[in-house]
């Protein structure tokens, strides 16, 4: 379906139906449209036009209601060709800046961004942390947790931090911890995590001194340890689910179960979002365009952020009945704000 198939009257009626349904969550009737939009034709003509739009796959009517509801195809046409350009208000910009632009790690910034974006958009905010394969290591710290257990803290490019538990299986002296920390920084700082994982044993084997036992842990188990640093399956950050739960689409127990099931599958969401991290600009997937029954009730609107080698995604997910102009403007601005903060 394309807008070229529609007459000027059909375009106006279709836009009126969409705007009405987004605002009210109720099927739009011909008299309602005539009163609200002043389309210059009678309710009977509007009703006939809606019937034509239904035959073309843009509208449908639930049960025996005379009102119409937009289809996923209608929303797509609306987003691509009819959507008005909307700018954020100064108040919205200020709120986002105040709530997000307070510094901190990548994880902290993304958590605040998903939370704030979701509340303002009245959808479920979400964010995907960056993939760290090509991120460069800036500094290593070893923190003692017990006599034989350490926490390795990796400070990465772009204020990212990853932590890894290291079990030495033997008591480790403070001097050994300090020596190995120095060696790790000397040999690894400036390398990407994927380079470290692939070459760690070779980079440490020629090191000698009194810290061999602890160094052997990194030589023998280094690739496994750094696998943990590169693990991204839990890096999906969600805002307040309650914001979405208040919408009419999720009033029934069955629809609420679908929403809860979706938010509990973090790895699945990560896979969906990861495919968008290399895209430019806003990406919008509506209803059945997902090709996945679990996502059919939803629209996903995202935009990537890029900082050096770091790439991730920020956006919202909500019902297909969504104020697309407002949401797109919010997601676009938030992704730009996150990029600026991380940069």
CA angle at residue 228 from 224 to 232, to 5 degrees? 140
Asked if 58 contacts 73 with a C-beta cutoff of 8 angstroms, the reply is: yes
**What is the per-residue pLDDT across 80-125, written as a single tens digit (0 to 9) for each?**
988 887 888 888 888 888 888 776 777 788 899 999 999 999 999 9
Residue 330 lies in a domain: yes
Q: Where are the beta strands (DSSP E) in the chain?
A: 59-60, 69-70, 124-128, 137-146, 149-156, 161-167, 236-238, 283-286, 298-307, 310-319
40: domain CATH number? 1.10.10.10
Give residue 151's domain range: 137-230
Instruction: Pick the most confident of 105-119, 158-172, 324-338.
Output: 324-338
At residue 233, the pLDDT reads 45
Tell me the mean pLDDT in the region 255-279. 83
Question: Quick one: which of 255, 270, 266, 264 has its CA closest to 321?
Answer: 255
Instruction: Count the neighbouring beta carbons within 10 Å of the beta carbon of residue 61.
Output: 16
Please report which confidence band the pLDDT of residue 68 belongs to, taking 50, 70 and 90 as the band edges. Answer: very high
At residue 262, the pLDDT reads 83
Residue 335 and residue 265 share a domain: yes
Question: Quick one: which of 319, 342, 279, 286 has its CA closest to 121?
Answer: 319
> Number of folded domains in the chain?
3
Residue 120 and residue 60 share a domain: no
Residue 80 lies in a domain: no
Tell me the mean pLDDT in the region 176-181. 90
pTM of the shown model: 0.79
At residue 267, the pLDDT reads 80
Asked if 245 contacts 285 with a C-beta cutoff of 8 angstroms, the reply is: no
Residue 115 and residue 249 share a domain: yes
Residue 81 lies in a domain: no
**Region at 281 (left for phi over 0; alpha for psi -120 to 50; beta for the rest):** left
Residue 218 and residue 154 share a domain: yes
Residues 6+ apart with CB under 8 A from 271: none
According to DSSP, the residues that pair with 316 across neighbouring strands are 125, 301
Residue 290: DSSP 8-state = G
At residue 127, the pLDDT reads 93
According to DSSP, the residues that pair with 125 across neighbouring strands are 316
């Amino acid at each position: 379906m394309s807008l070229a198939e529609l007459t000027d009257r059909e375009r106006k009626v279709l836009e009126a139906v969409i705007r009405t349904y987004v605002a009210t969550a109720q099927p739009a009737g011909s008299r309602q449209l005539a009163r609200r939009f002043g389309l210059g034709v009678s309710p009977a003509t509007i009703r006939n036009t809606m019937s034509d739009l239904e035959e073309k796959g843009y509208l449908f009517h639930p049960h025996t209601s005379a009102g119409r509801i937009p289809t996923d195809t209608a929303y797509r046409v609306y987003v691509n060709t009819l959507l008005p350009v909307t700018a954020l208000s100064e108040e919205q910009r200020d709120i986002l800046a105040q709530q997000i632009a307070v510094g901190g790690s990548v994880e902290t910034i993304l958590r605040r961004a998903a939370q704030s974006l979701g509340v303002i958009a009245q959808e479920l905010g979400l964010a995907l942390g960056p993939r760290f394969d090509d991120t460069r290591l800036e500094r290593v710290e070893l923190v003692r947790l017990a006599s034989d257990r350490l926490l390795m803290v990796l400070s990465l490019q772009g204020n990212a931090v990853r932590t890894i538990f290291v079990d030495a299986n033997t008591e480790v002296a403070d001097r050994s911890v300090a020596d190995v920390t120095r060696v790790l920084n000397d040999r690894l700082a400036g390398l990407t995590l994927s380079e470290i994982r692939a070459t760690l044993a070779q980079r440490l084997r020629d090191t000698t001194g009194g810290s061999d036992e602890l160094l052997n842990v990194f030589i023998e188990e280094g690739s496994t340890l750094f696998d943990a640093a590169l693990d991204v399956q839990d890096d999906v950050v969600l805002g307040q689910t309650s914001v979405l739960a208040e919408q009419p689409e999720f009033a029934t127990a069955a629809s609420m179960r679908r929403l809860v099931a979706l938010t509990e599958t973090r790895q699945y969401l990560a896979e969906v979002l990861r495919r968008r991290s290399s895209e430019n600009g806003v990406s919008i997937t509506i209803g059945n365009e997902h090709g996945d029954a679990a996502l059919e009730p939803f629209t996903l609107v995202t935009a990537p952020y890029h900082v050096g080698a770091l790439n991730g995604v920020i956006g919202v997910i909500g019902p297909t009945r969504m104020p697309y102009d407002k949401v797109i403007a919010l997601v676009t601005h938030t992704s730009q704000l996150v990029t600026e903060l991380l940069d």
